[in-house]
Amino acid sequence: MREDEVISVLLAAAQPVAGAGVLRGPGDDAAALRPPAGQDLAWTVDDHAEDVHFRAAWGWKAVGRKAAGAALSDLAASGASPVGALLALTLPAGFGRGDLVELGRGFGQKLAEAGCPLVGGNVTRGPRVQLSTSLLGAIPRGGGLWRDGAEAGAALFVSGPLGLARAGLLWLEAGGDRDDPALQPALRALLDPAPRFELGLALRDHSCAVLDLSDGLARDLPRLARACGCAADVELARVPAPTPALAERVGEAPSALAWVGGEDYELLVAGPPALEGLGLTRIGQLSAGAPGEVRGASGEAGYDPFADAPSGSGAPTHE
Amino acid sequence: MREDEVISVLLAAAQPVAGAGVLRGPGDDAAALRPPAGQDLAWTVDDHAEDVHFRAAWGWKAVGRKAAGAALSDLAASGASPVGALLALTLPAGFGRGDLVELGRGFGQKLAEAGCPLVGGNVTRGPRVQLSTSLLGAIPRGGGLWRDGAEAGAALFVSGPLGLARAGLLWLEAGGDRDDPALQPALRALLDPAPRFELGLALRDHSCAVLDLSDGLARDLPRLARACGCAADVELARVPAPTPALAERVGEAPSALAWVGGEDYELLVAGPPALEGLGLTRIGQLSAGAPGEVRGASGEAGYDPFADAPSGSGAPTHE
C-alpha cells in the first residue's frame, strides 16, 4: 500500500464520529478546531509500541482499542471531555490491509465510544507498529484535575481493582488460553481499558489531586505524593486486588499484582473523605514527611522501561 | 537513565519558552492551555524517524532542529501562529545522556525561535530514535489556509528554491564532506528547514490554496490540484531549482532535483496573480481538467515510503 492508500483505508475503518468543534478534519497540513467558548483545553500524547506495550499476537483490533483507551485515560484523569484526536501511526513494510482495517476499526470504535472525533494524523514506515495518539479535551476555566491538588491529611483513594491488567499480561506472555473464562476480567483490563470520564467529571466539583494509574501504584503513588509535597501512608491490604484464585493462575500474590501492576488506568485520588461516596476505595492518606516517600507498603518498585535492568514481566509505562 | 530522568534531562536541555496561554506545562497527565479568545485552532502531528527521515550520523542537535522545523512548517502552511508543542519521543536502550542533551537542545531551540512553548510529551523505548511532534496553533476565526482554497484559473506559485534538501540528502548519503562550502545551502535546507510563518500570515489576507512542500512538487502538486478539483499546468523551467554547479556535485539535473525533491518545506500556493508581490515565484496555473492531473512536466513521481519498491535516494515523506 502507498501512503495515501494507508490513510484512506485507515480512515474508512476508523469511521470517525463528527465533532461540534471540528472545522477541518483529515486531509490538510493541519486540522482546524473551534474549541468550546470560555473553556480551557487539556492536551496529551500517549504512545503504544509493539513489543513494549502490546504484542502483534493479541490481534490488531484489540491493539487499537487498547491504544485509544490508554490515551483517553489521560484526558479522563484531567477532568476533560474529548474534543478530538490525532493519530501518528508507524507501520512496518509487510503490514497487510486486513490488519490495518482491524487496527483502524478498534482504534476508531474506542474513540467513538468516548465521543471523540479523529481529525488527522500521520503515517511513517518503521520496524514495528507504533501508535502515538494526541488528544485534546475541554475543561471548564480553571476546573481541571492535577496531581498537585491535595495537602497532608487528604485521604487516598483508587477507583477500582488494581493488578488485573498485569495479571492479563502475565497470562498472555506465558502463552495462556485467551478464552479461559477465569481470566476474562484480567484480559479485559489489559486489552480494553475503560477511561474514567464520568468519575473525572464528578471529581471536578472537589478539591483533590488526581492521576491515572498507568505505571502502577508503586510508581504512581510517589509521583502524586511528591507533587503534593507530602509523604503517603498506604495500607496495602485495603488496595482492591485481583481474587486469590485469579492471582494463583498467574503465579503472583494478589497484593503484589495490585502494588506493581501498571496499565489499569484506574484513578488515584487524594482529597476529602467524602469522596468515598463517588464509589472510590480508601487506601491511606497523605501526610507530612519527605515528599514522595511512601510508608507502610512493600518496597518493590513499579516497572520502569528506562531502568538499567528492566524486568520482562512488568507492565509497560505511560506518562 | 530511568524514564523520569530522561524527561528531566530533555526538558532542561530544551529550555521551553513561556507561552501566554499555557496554564500547565509538563508534569501532569495532560497540559492545560487557555487558547486565544475568539480564535480557531490548527492542530497537526509530524513524525521524524531514524533511517527514514534522518541518520544518527547527522548529529542529534541537527536532528532536533530538523524534526521541530518540519512540524512547525505544517502550522506555517495553515496560516497559524504557534500555541504549543508536545513531543512523543522514542529512544533505544543505548541512547546516551550527551546525545539526549543535544537532541533536546536542537529541538527546543527551533521551537523557541518560533515562539512555541513545549508543554508536555511522552517517552517510550524503541529500536530507533523517533520524534512525533504534535503542535497547536491559533488562527483568526475562519482565517486558516487550506489546500482546497483555489479554482481553475488560479496562478501557481512556490515560495523558494526546490530540490535543495534532496541535494543535501544525496550528498550526505554518498558520504560527502559536511563542511564543503558549496553544499552549505543544500545542507541547511535539509537539516534546518525554515517554516514560512511570515508568508503564511500574509497569505491569510488572500483567497488561495496552500500546502507545504514536504513530499516534493511531483507528489504535492497533484494533491493540491485534486483538492481544488482542477488539473495543473506547470512550467518546469520556471520552478526555482538548485544551481547547475550544485546539482552536478550530487549527480542530478537541477530540474529533477526541483521536481522530485521533498523536505524543502517551501509553500505551494494557488491564487491571484498579485501574490507574486509576496516574493513568490509563479510556476504555472490551475486549469479545468481531470482533478489532480499535472500537465507539461516530467512524469517522474515523488518518493513515497509506502510504495512497494521505494527508492533509497528520494527524500522522505510528510503529511
Distance separating alpha carbons of residues B26 and B29, to the nearest angstrom:
9
Q: Do A29 and B132 touch (CB under 8 A)?
A: no
pLDDT of A242 > 90? The answer is yes
Pairing of strands A231-234, A130-140: unpaired
CB contact under 8 A, A43 and B27: no
Element (DSSP H or E) covering residue B156: strand B155-158
Distance CA A258, CA A262 (A): 9
Give the length of chain B.
Answer: 319
**Looking at residue B307, what is its pLDDT?**
45
Contact between residue B111 and residue B249 where contact means Cβ atoms under 8 Å apart = no
Closest Cα of chain A to B292: distance in Å?
14
> Comparing C-alpha atoms, which of A84, A63, A226 is closest to residue A152?
A226
Cite the DSSP H helix spans in chain B.
3-14, 60-76, 97-113, 164-173, 184-191, 197-203, 217-228, 244-250, 254-260
Q: Would you state the cell numbers that stand for residue B68, as one nine-digit string?
A: 521541530
**Domain parsing of chain B, residue ranges:** 3-140, 155-295
Over residues A83-109, mean pLDDT: 97
Handedness of CA B52, B58, B59, B61 (dihedral sign): negative
DSSP state of B174: T
Contact flag B40-A31 (C-beta cutoff 8 Å)? no
Assess whether pLDDT exceeds 50 at residue A307: no
B80 φ/ψ angles, rounded to the nearest 5 degrees: -100, 155
Q: Which amino acid is at A239?
A: V
Cell of A79: 477532568
Residue A140's beta-bridge partner residues?
Answer: A39
A window 231-290, beta carbon within 8 A of B: none
DSSP 8-state code for residue B249: H
* B7 contact A CB<8A: yes
Mean pLDDT across the stretch A185-206?
97
User: Which of A106, A225, A208 has its CA nearest to residue A159?
Assistant: A208
Q: Which pLDDT score, from 0 to 100, does residue B39 have?
A: 94
Q: Say what the pLDDT of residue A315 is.
A: 41
Is the CB of residue A312 less than 8 Å away from at least one CB of chain B?
A: no
Hey, which residues 93-122 in chain B have their CB within 8 Å of chain A? 119-122
Residues of chain B with pLDDT under 70: 297-319
Q: Phi/psi of residue A296, each to 5°? A: 80, 20
3-class state of residue A219 by DSSP = helix
In the three-class reduction of DSSP (H, G, I as helix; E, B as strand; rest coil), residue A295 is classed as strand
Search chain B and give the residue with CA nearest A88: B45
| pLDDT value, residue B254 | 96
A100-158 confidence digits (pLDDT tens): 999 999 999 999 999 999 999 999 999 999 999 999 999 999 889 999 999 999 999 99
CB-closest option in A29, A45, A307 to B44: A29
Q: What ipTM was assigned to the predicted interfaces of this complex?
A: 0.91
CA–CA separation, B100 and B98 (whole Å)? 5
Q: Among residues A19, A74, A45, A77, which one has the least CA distance to residue A202?
A: A77
Is residue B10 within 8 Å of B89, Cβ to Cβ? yes
Is A132 in contact with B2 (Cβ distance < 8 A)? Answer: no
Is residue A309 scored above 70 in pLDDT?
no
Q: How many residues does chain A have?
A: 319
Contact with chain A for residue B52, Cβ under 8 A: yes
Considering CB atoms only, which of B142, B146, B319 is closest to A122? B319
Give domain B155-295's CATH architecture.
Alpha-Beta Complex (3.90)
B301 shares contact with chain A (CB less than 8 Å)? no
DSSP conformation letters of A23-57 = EE-TTSSSEEE-PPTTEEEEEEEEEEEBTTTB-GG
Q: Of A63-67, A92-96, B153-157, give the lowest mean pLDDT range.
A: A92-96
- Measured CA to CA, the distance from residue A229 to residue A226 in angstroms comes to 5
Would the pLDDT of A299 be above 90?
Answer: no
The Cα–Cα gap between B120 and B139 comes to: 22
User: Are B58 and B191 within 8 A, CB to CB?
Assistant: yes
Q: Does residue B132 belong to the interface with chain A, where contact is any CB pair within 8 Å?
A: yes
User: Who contacts B61 (Cβ-Cβ below 8 Å, separation ≥6)?
Assistant: B102, B103, B105, B106
Helix or strand or coil: residue B53? Answer: coil
pTM for the predicted model, two decimal places: 0.92
B222 contact partners, CB below 8 Å, separation of at least 6: B232, B292, B293, B294
**Nearest-CA distance from B25 to chain A in Å?**
10
If pLDDT is split at 50, 70 and 90, which confidence band does A273 have?
Answer: very high
**pLDDT for residue A73 is more than 80:** yes
The listed CATH number (3.40.30.10, 3.40.50.970, 2.10.10.90, 3.30.1330.10) that belongs to domain B3-140: 3.30.1330.10
Mean pLDDT of A193-201: 97
Please tell me the predicted confidence (pLDDT) of residue B314.
41
Q: Which of A176, A157, A161, A174 is nearest to A244 (CA)?
A: A161
Q: Contact A269/A159 with Cβ under 8 angstroms?
A: yes
Per-residue confidence (pLDDT) for residue A296, from 0 to 100: 80
